[in-house]
Amino acid sequence: MIAEQMLSLCNFIMDCDITKRERTNDISYKRYIYFALCRYADEDISLSEIGRACGGRSHSTVINGLKVFYDVVVNNEYYWNIYQKCLEHYNSIGTETEGDVKEKIYKDHIK
């Protein structure tokens, strides 16, 4: 359920369809943002569920996407701002500061 809701939110905010089979960096990074948002919203969501909701991708694609998110997207201002905007619309960022959000992301990366 959360994966489909987050997909609708991301497609709306990012103004693109991240379920397409396009492999451009822009679409791929936005897809990785979606993967991270799903994990942020529900730590217990399965990687397979995230992948299925995003155009039938496998759990290994989600694992790779999360690695790229932590290594590349978090450090790219343009994509980080997209991530923040999605978080704000999801109402998850509420009282958390950007530092709190990044700390949670890095903790998830270490798991």
pTM here is 0.81
Give every CB contact of residue 105 below 8 A, 6+ residues apart in sequence: 36, 40, 70, 74
Helices then strands, counting H and E runs in the chain, come out as 6, 0
Closest C-alpha to 82, from 18, 19, 22: 18
Residues 25-33: what's their mean pLDDT?
96
Q: pLDDT band at 91, cuts 50/70/90?
A: low
- Write down the pLDDT at residue 1: 72
**Percent residues over pLDDT 70 in the chain:** 81
Quick: pLDDT tens for 49-90. 999 999 999 999 999 999 999 999 999 999 999 999 998 888
C-alpha gyration radius of the chain: 13
Instruction: Give residue 56's region: left, alpha or beta (phi > 0; psi -120 to 50).
Output: left
